[in-house]
Amino acid sequence: MTTFNKTVTFEECITIRYYEYERSEEDEDKKGKDWQRTVDLTCREFKLSIEKGGCGGNWNVLENKLDELEEPYWLLIGQLWQRLYRGAKRIEEEDSSDEEDDCEKPSADKDNNK
């Protein structure tokens, strides 16, 4: 039996590939034009004191700042709400559920009793 002694360097074992693509347009389409500012507000500035330019952990202050944005990233806003208020419905959701109750379709039992 023949044995081989070959030394392989780390550089020979890996392949580095560089890809170029434009993500900013794709991100903007999916997340909204002001997604970066929304990230700052929800992740960095929400718990920062109001004196330092943050929201002080106050949802109403955050909403006022978000209202100034043309296209906020709604996914992050929803995720923050869920982290803070676990399962509680927002005012908008409560209003829409009332409207859905008013517009219920008639049940099949009512149609069969004609």
10 Å CB burial of residue 27 (0-12, 13-18, 19+) is middle
The 10s digit of each residue's pLDDT in 44-85 is: 999 999 999 999 999 999 999 999 999 999 899 999 999 998
Query: Does pLDDT of 91 surpass 50?
Result: yes
25 in a structural domain: yes
99 in a structural domain: no
The 10s digit of each residue's pLDDT in 13-25 is: 777 777 776 666 6
113 in a structural domain: no
Indicate the number of domains in the chain: 1
Structural domain span for residue 30 = 1-87
27 in a structural domain: yes
35 in a structural domain: yes
What's the confidence (pLDDT) of residue 22?
Answer: 66
What's the confidence (pLDDT) of residue 1?
Answer: 65
21 in a structural domain: yes
44 in a structural domain: yes
Q: What is the pTM of this model?
A: 0.57
103 in a structural domain: no
